[in-house]
Amino acid sequence: MDIVSKSDDAPAQAGTPKGEKRQFRKVAARGAAYSGLAQGLKILLSMASVIVVARLLAPTDFGVIAMTTPITGFILIFQNLGLNQAVVQARTISEEQTNALFFYNLAASAAIALIFLAISPLVGLFYGDPRPAYITAASALTVLLTGTTLQHTALLNRAMRFRALSFVDITTAAASLLFTIGFALWLRNFWALWLGAFCGTVVNALLVWRIDRWRPSRRIVWGSARNMVKFGANLTGFNFMNFIRKNIDNVLIAKMWGSSALGLYDRSYKLMMFPLEKVNSPLARVMLPALARVQDEPGRYRRMFLLAIQTLSIFSVPGIMAVAMCSDLVIPLLFGARWTDASPIFFWLSLAAVTQPVSNATGWLFISSGRTKEMFHWGLYSTPVTIAAFLIGLPWGPVGVAKAYFLSQAVTVPVLYYWCTRDTPVSARDLYAAIVPTLLGGILAWGVVNLARGELSTIPLLATAFACSYGFSIAVQGATKKGRAALVEMTRLLSAARP
């Protein structure tokens, strides 16, 4: 018996294979629309939080939270053990398996909470500052609470209940923003950031338990989830390596240059990378179950994946190029004059982010096809290369680290494109074809903006950068046969997404 939450969004029986494909396409399109709308609102809320709270708190307050991020981030690796994706990818899942996975997650969360409490004094000793120790200990509460929601969220995703998930995401983000601003006005210190995030976690837990009616029971067969645990173990191994790769820069900068330098780097990183991750997350929510269902149909699998990454590229890369070419204006405008030193950091991180939309999407290939072991092997290569780059750039401060991160992409991205497409209907050439037209459009826009710099003030110049970047990118995309086909297909999907 397959455990699936009842959903108004889930595909109905359409009677014929052709009808089923049409219905599936409609569900996927609407799911993307719901998730896209939710993420758009979440990005606006996140940006508002970054901008408003940055004016209420000092860079060192953000630096304290960033010091703990490499440690608290472990909850996302060892809490779900890769089991959420295993639930989504599995063709069927029984009541016994669902119960076993729930209690696996709960046990892992309890163990990690105890570890956080035990190591918090060591964190304070490492940094020579007691404040990160307080945050690490307090995060044990977040770990325990989040552990109770993982299985419910996975079941909602498996059932393709994207509308419900989008509602949860938006409500959680709004609550977190309001609580963070309120605590920042009241406390004026780093605790405001943690308390705001924790209150958002409470709201999230209440909502997912209310929306998803599944409840754990004593019907447990521990061995029934063995294959899922193996799948999740490889994914957890990759997540562990990827976590180190994405957080070791914070540790190195904090240790060598202090919390103020880390605050500048962290805000620059969040401003650039955080929106990209927020775009990839909802698309992954839609694409993973969708690709898993058509993995036995190579043609559909390839078309679906390529359309997704072309859409990602068209919507994301021109915006990245626009803020990169105006980085010296963006940071003072959003954060204020005291953050001006973050401008060169933001510039190099923006350049590094150009390949991120497509690179992030390669995880869909690994996971939907059950190739998490190869995904783990990729992490074993990319992590040491990136760490070496950070160490090379570290003597030049956070700017040197950001520049080194950009340069490391030239070594890792080609290998990633080759490795992720092995034994799949998708080729590395397909990935390059998805990103090159938008890159060319951005380069053309950069030339126009440089010519206009002496003639336009800040806001008109930023508007010109965005208009030219998106306009040229779409024009270049439309100049090729595949690009025109992608634009037409995007239009069809938008039509299918209508109620």
Each residue's pLDDT tens digit, 458-496: 899 999 999 999 999 888 888 877 777 777 766 766 555
pLDDT at residue number 18: 56
Residue type, 241: M
pLDDT at residue number 493: 60
pLDDT at residue number 12: 44
Measured on CA atoms in the order 288, 360, 82, 140, is the torsion positive or negative? negative
pLDDT at residue number 433: 85
Q: Is the pLDDT of residue 5 over 70?
A: no
Helix (H, G, I), strand (E, B) or coil at 268: helix
**Tokens 């109905």 — which residue?**
12
- Give the Cα separation of 185 and 163 in Å (integer): 33
- Give the number of other Cβ atoms within 10 Å of residue 150's Cβ: 23
- Give the Cα separation of 401 and 404 in Å (integer): 5
pLDDT at residue number 13: 44
Segment 140-145 mean pLDDT: 90
pLDDT at residue number 198: 93
Segment 185-202 mean pLDDT: 92
CA angle 29, 34, 39 (to 5 degrees): 120
Q: Is the pLDDT of residue 89 over 80?
A: no
Arithmetic mean of pLDDT over the chain: 83
Q: Is the pLDDT of residue 80 over 80?
A: no
**Phi/psi at 73 (nearest 5 deg)?**
-65, -20
pLDDT at residue number 17: 53
Count each helix (H run) and each strand (E run) in the chain, helices first: 20, 0
pLDDT at residue number 53: 87
Pick the more confident residue, 1 or 88.
88
